[in-house]
Amino acid sequence: MTIALSLLSGLTFGFGLIISGMTNPTKVLNFLDLAGTWDPSLALVMGGAIAIGFVAFSAAGKRQRSFLDLPMQMPTVRQIDRRLIGGSLTFGVGWGLAGICPGPALVLAGAGIPQGLLFVGAMLVGMKIFEFIEDR
């Protein structure tokens, strides 16, 4: 049951990314180009996601077990540190250069689109580099 619901959740998320235009790098880059061809439509998508996330995380924080009767695993660290800022900057630069972030990249890679495959490959290499640095 957990696997089926996980699959359904992932498919819903993926279809939402496709319908909203988040898997279209050109649309994303136009959203980020405030001084040029700015397309504000993704702001509505992000606003909706933030609102839903706020309600969901508020409700989840009050629970001990999930709807699937699994233990809740909520983040416990609340401080802003160098690692958080560095990761945020890296994410933002990558998103701004490619017009793709990890969720849409997985959708694009799953569809066999070369940009998505390249992005996911680079993301995996980056994760390995991070592991190497963390182990030192």
The stretch 50-58 carries a mean pLDDT of 94
Please give the tally of structural domains in the chain. Answer: 1
Give mean pLDDT, residues 20-27: 92
Mean pLDDT along residues 122-131:
93
Q: How confident is the model at residue 136, as a pLDDT?
A: 87
pLDDT above 90 (res 1): no
Residue written as token pair 């694009």: 108
Which pLDDT belongs to residue 2? 82
Average pLDDT over residues 51-60: 93
Structural domain that includes position 55: 2-135
